[in-house]
Structure 1
């Protein structure tokens, strides 16, 4: 073989010997990179205003307001619409603080009126649980004494619920604040006795419906004054079903959870003891609420039984002792202005407190059902 040809063959062989390992190494590196986990893109922060560029994205109809929403599916709303309606979720539009988020007043477009928008905190699992609970319970129910759920929004990490707006605000604001939001600033409006009695009857009717007329039954698990909203004529509307649970079988026998849930001061003693919640725990909380309605004091309010005594006692224990001693009139909210001589209202007040005493018995089986409570209230 000629020397030039041999030299050419040797040169080509040497080049291939170098190129093949390089190509193989490049192939293996690329394969490794393709198998490496892809880091997800960072989630954008939720908008607090609506830029013009997204003003028409995810458009939704607001026609649910004023329609028979209780008989149809809930409206699924867009984040853009809700942000626009609340002024970018402006702090100036906050009208309440729910269990897991703020409640905003929202103005519907085209003069559609106002609604209440609850934007849930979803940093943990609690906000998502509340969202699902409210949709499961209120999304399928209709009752005059339940706050009406109109629509919802699930966009990214955001969970938002839209309710009818009750202009008179919460029972808590009327008992312990300056009255409803429609009152003049600085005014101190006192809830009259007829209004308080109507509120008690309304909440009782709502709970009786949930426990006995709904299948499967529902336990609210967070009865308190701030979860009672007031409509025109002081009609009570039970709200905030974030801790509610649907139970299997009889509500009197079914334990939905052994974990304490609710608000301190309203919780039944068996809940603190680690016993699962039943309908009788809701009955106990309702009894506490009735004592609060009559006395005008929160359940956590400390009481000195006598001026001379230094030790304070629990409001509920003090009220129950007065009721059992036949001195119910001594626990009445003095702002109401009921005198002993006002027979009908005095008897109604005493009757309400006696029902409250029965509802707050320490042993669950000694408490009445909410159906029995409604019957007793209707006789006052």
Structure 2
């Protein structure tokens, strides 16, 4: 996958020797740069910190995972460089950036676009979980979803991902707890070391709530601290009065409120069920979303 097109010399030149002027994002293990190559291609480059052992582990995990994955809703890995202290991953560049930042711009997406993004994420997860050896992402969050100019999403950041070895009839991976706490399934927060695809399903349910409610509103309910890891968004959504919460969404049309909202919240709460056995698999989630989204009229693309 490494090629002369993405040689270290060319990547250095395209980023002005990895100047901070070209930084477009920050990850757990390094910085992400935007680069314009001499052939006209624009790419994103993740430069892992060589002084962090976690960086090496995540670089290897991400390179191994993305090197095998091919799906329109999974970010495309174009190349990698690993030489001495240098660890670089080169990805396709996705124009609109991460979903978390875009959601903070109140007029950035219509609710139709938000649904399209979520359906794409669901399709990407269904693909990962449906592989012969399923891949568990373990860190589904709005910061780990990029959005292109057509509002199609890409799932990114596979550094924490794990693969279930079906050759040994396994249904889980034994590993340390990892991921973003607000999206973390209750079984993980309780100390379980068995990672399953149902953990991703829970995170997707939280993502569904955040995408419609918005990160600013959700931040009131992300009651997270290093001491108690308390989290109450699901309970709040489960107990909300529809008319009360909808009255705050002046941008949403009556079609959304009457036809889509109740089913949307039902699906989100199914995914975010406390009991992993009661959560649907992602293929079922895709089917449920497809039942409501195809009927969305194009004229209903009101901003929200």
Q: TM-score, normalised by structure 1?
A: 0.69
**Offset of residue 129 of structure 1:** 1.3
Matched, 1:338 2:285: no
**Aligned counterpart for 2:4 among listed residues 25, 42, 61:** 61
Q: Matches of 2:191 and 2:231 in 1, distance apart?
A: 24
Q: Matches of 1:252 and 1:173 in 2, distance apart?
A: 40
Q: Matches of 1:253 and 1:315 in 2, distance apart?
A: 32
Q: Matches of 1:252 and 1:273 in 2, distance apart?
A: 25
**Aligned counterpart for 1:267 among listed residues 170, 184, 203:** 184
**Offset of residue 362 of structure 1:** 0.6
**Offset of residue 300 of structure 1:** 6.0
Contact 1:193–1:336 under 8 Å retained in 2: no
Contact 1:93–1:105 under 8 Å retained in 2: yes
Q: Matches of 1:328 and 1:142 in 2, distance apart?
A: 39
Matched, 1:290 2:218: no
**Offset of residue 163 of structure 1:** 0.4
**Aligned counterpart for 2:197 among listed residues 248, 254, 279:** 279
Residue 256 of structure 1 corresponds to 173
Contact 1:118–1:160 under 8 Å retained in 2: yes
Q: Matches of 1:244 and 1:255 in 2, distance apart?
A: 12
Task: Give structure 1 regions of 4+ aligned residues with deviation exceeding 4 angstroms.
Answer: 250-253, 332-336
CA root-mean-square deviation: 2.5
Matched, 1:126 2:44: no
Q: Matches of 2:21 and 2:247 in 1, distance apart?
A: 33
Residue 238 of structure 2 corresponds to 320
Q: Matches of 2:67 and 2:199 in 1, distance apart?
A: 24
**Aligned counterpart for 1:226 among listed residues 117, 137, 143:** 143
Q: Deviations over 1:182-210 (max 9, x none)?
A: xxxxxx63311010000110000000000
**Offset of residue 219 of structure 1:** 0.2
Q: Matches of 2:57 and 2:14 in 1, distance apart?
A: 25
Q: Deviations over 1:258-297 (max 9, x none)?
A: 4110001000010012211100000000000000011013
Which sits farther off after the overlay, 330-339 or 155-164?
330-339
**Offset of residue 137 of structure 1:** 1.3
Aligned with 2:90: secondary structure?
strand
Residue 276 of structure 2 corresponds to 364
Aligned with 2:96: secondary structure?
coil
Q: Deviations over 1:74-99 (max 9, x none)?
A: xxx43222111111111111111123
Q: 1:155 to 1:90 in 2, by over 3 A?
A: same
**Offset of residue 345 of structure 1:** 5.7
Residue 226 of structure 2 corresponds to none
Aligned with 2:207: secondary structure?
helix
**Offset of residue 317 of structure 1:** 1.8
Matched, 1:195 2:116: no
Contact 2:210–2:218 under 8 Å retained in 1: no
Aligned with 1:97: secondary structure?
strand
Q: How does 1:3-42 map to 2 (within 5 A)?
A: none
**Offset of residue 61 of structure 1:** 2.5
Q: 1:241 to 1:346 in 2, by over 3 A?
A: farther
Q: Deviations over 1:324-372 (max 9, x none)?
A: xxx3454459456114xx2356422322211010011111001110011
Contact 2:62–2:159 under 8 Å retained in 1: yes
Matched, 1:159 2:77: no
**Aligned counterpart for 2:21 among listed residues 75, 92, 96:** 92
Aligned residues: 283
Aligned with 1:379: secondary structure?
helix
Gaps in structure 1 of 5+ consecutive residues:
1-58, 63-76, 179-187, 304-311
- Determine which structure has more spread, i.e. the larger CA radius of gyration: 1
Aligned with 2:215: secondary structure?
coil
Residue 141 of structure 1 corresponds to 69
